[in-house]
Structures are given as C-alpha cells and as structure tokens.
Structure 1
Amino acid sequence: MEPKDIAKRSAGNFLIFAGCAFILWILAAAVDWIAQIVRLSTPERLPALAASIVSSSTLQAIVAIWLLTAAVAIAFPRVLRPLSTTTTLMFDVGYGILGALTGFGIAIGLFGGGWSILLRALIYSAVIAVGYVAVRRWLSRDEFTMDGRTRWMAAGIIALASPFVLLWG
C-alpha cells in the first residue's frame, strides 16, 4: 500500500472520528442537562468527564507505541514487510482515536471546558505525521537495504524517545 493511500485513509478516519466524537459530546451534554433537571446528575459531572479525558494517557501511549514500532521497523527492515499490515492498522486506529480526542476537544473547548485536549491531540497528530514523512525521506530505500549507521542511529533515537513520550508526553 502506498504512503499516500495510508495518509488518505488515516485522514478520513481522523475526520470521521472527530465528527462522531463532537456529536457524541453534544448528545452527552444534552442528556446530562436533562439528568440535572430531574436531579440524576450534578453540574460537575460533565466538567469532571472532560478533566478525565484531558488527563488520560491514551495520547501518550499511542505516540510511544508508534515510535517503538517505527524504531523496530527501521532497525530490522526485514520485519517491515510483516509489520506493514500492522502498521497500517495502527495508523488507522491511532488516527481514529486522535480524531475522536480532537472532536471531544473541540466540543469541550466550545462549551467552556478548556482547549488543552484539542491542543494535545493536534500536536501529537502533527508530530506523528511530520515524523513519518521525515523518516520516509531521510532514510531512503537504499538505507533500508544496507547496514547503515544512519539507520541504526535513527532507530536508536526513536526507540529512546518512546518511553519518554509515554512517561512525560
């Protein structure tokens, strides 16, 4: 599968999930408002949910997994072929999740809950996309077939970055 096809499908997943998450948040806010009227919920319920989404480590985990997978694929190119299907699936699911968090972030921000989840989702999405393009351009096909120091250095840097992103991203 071509990188452009992966990018198009990932972008589509991102937008679909973002739209669905935005609508879901609006529906949840409406249900919560009705529940508050009949005293089944409190005004703090939705802001507490927004706070838990913002403090979730889901984004960090997605980025850390992608980094480590990229490092393995760069260090051991023979693994790249069996990983290609898995990597495509990771991009689809991962960008879907980032899209959902973006949709939640937009809705949360519009309704006064702050913009931090949106900013984090967008920053991680941009970093992953730029990193993917940079690695594809920096490491040519020849570099993948040879035992080059550049390939090992890139894999090492990316592998070392993954636990830092998971812990402090």
Structure 2
Amino acid sequence: MEPAEIAKRSAGNFLIFAACAFVLWIMAGAIDWVAQIVHLSTPERLTAVATSITSSSTLQALVSIWLLTAALAIAFPRILTPLSTTTTLMFDVGYGILGALTGFGLAIGLFGGGWTIFVRALIYSAVIAIGFFVFRKWLSVAELRSYGQARWIIAAIVALASPFVLLWG
C-alpha cells in the first residue's frame, strides 16, 4: 500500500473518530446538565471524567506500542509480511484512537476543562505522521529488505525510545 493511501485512510479515521468523540462529549454534557437539574449528578462529575481522560496514559501506551512494533518491523522486515494486515489495522485503529482523544480534548478545551489532552493528542499524531514519512523517505523499501547497518541503527533507536515514551511521554 502506498504512503499516500495510508495517509488518506488514517486521516479519515482520525477525523471520523474526532468528530464522533466531540459530539459524544457534547451529548454527555447535555445529559449531565439534565441529571444535575434532577439531582442525579453533580457539577464535578463531568470535570472528573475530563480529568480522567487528560491524565490517562493511553496516549503514551499507544505511541510506545507503535514505536516497538515499528522497531521490530524495521529490524525484521520478513515479520512485517505476515503482520501487514495487523500492522495496517493497528495503524488505522491507533489513529482513530488519537482522533477520538483529539475530539474529546477539543470539546473539553472549549467547555473550560483545559487544553492538555487536545494538545498532546495533536502533538503525538503529528510526530507519528512525520516519523512515518521521514522513515519511508530515508530508508527505501530496497534498503529495508537488505540487512544493512542503517536499518539496525534505526530499529535500535526506535526500540529504545518506546519505554521512555511509555514512562515519561
């Protein structure tokens, strides 16, 4: 699959999930407002949910898994062939999740809950997209199939970066 096709599909997943998450947050806010009127909820409930999403390690875990999977695919390209469908699915779902977190972050930010989750989701999304295109440009498919030294160096750097992102991302 061509990088342009992957980018279009991933962008589509990102936008659809972001839009759905945004609408979901608006709906949850409206329901919570009605629940507050009839004393079934408190004003702090929606803030607690926003705080939970913002402080979640989901973004770090997602990016860490991507990094380690990318390192394995770079180091052992033959693994990528049987896993190509799985890897593509992981990339699509991952961008969908980042899109959902971006949509939640946008809604949370617009309604006074802070912009942390929105900014972090956008930064991670941009870094992953840029990294993918830089990697595809710098290390050609022919070079990836040959067992050259550049491939091993890149794989080692990416593999070592994954636990750091998980712990301190």
- The normalised TM-score by structure 1 is 0.98
Describe the SS at the equivalent of 1:40: coil
Residues of 1 paired with 2:87 and 2:15: CA distance? 19
Q: CA RMSD in A?
A: 0.8
Residues of 2 paired with 1:17 and 1:141: CA distance? 31
- Hey, which bits of structure 1, 4+ residues long, moved more than 2 A? none
Residues of 1 paired with 2:128 and 2:23: CA distance? 26
Note the C-alpha offset of 1:136: 0.8
Residues of 2 paired with 1:33 and 1:145: CA distance? 57
Q: Is the 8 A contact 1:73 1:83 kept in 2?
A: no
Work out whether 1:104 is the aligned partner of 2:83. no
Gaps of 5+ in 1: none
Residues of 2 paired with 1:144 and 1:110: CA distance? 44
Residues of 2 paired with 1:82 and 1:122: CA distance? 31
2:25 matched residue in structure 1: 25
Note the C-alpha offset of 1:79: 1.0
Note the C-alpha offset of 1:124: 0.4
2:50 matched residue in structure 1: 50
1:75 matched residue in structure 2: 75
Gaps of 5+ in 2: none
Q: Is the 8 A contact 1:18 1:99 kept in 2?
A: yes
Identity, % of aligned positions = 76
Residues of 2 paired with 1:147 and 1:2: CA distance? 22
Residues of 2 paired with 1:30 and 1:49: CA distance? 14
Residues of 1 paired with 2:118 and 2:145: CA distance? 39
2:12 matched residue in structure 1: 12
> How far does the alpha carbon of each residue in 1:85-143 deviate from its partner, in whole angstroms, 9 at most, with x for none?
11110111001000000100110000000000000000000010011111111111232
Residues of 2 paired with 1:80 and 1:4: CA distance? 19
Q: Is the 8 A contact 1:20 1:100 kept in 2?
A: yes
> How far does the alpha carbon of each residue in 1:43-72 deviate from its partner, in whole angstroms, 9 at most, with x for none?
000011000000111111110011001000
1:139 matched residue in structure 2: 139
Residues of 1 paired with 2:162 and 2:101: CA distance? 21
Q: Is the 8 A contact 1:19 1:103 kept in 2?
A: yes
- The normalised TM-score by structure 2 is 0.98
2:124 matched residue in structure 1: 124
Note the C-alpha offset of 1:80: 1.6
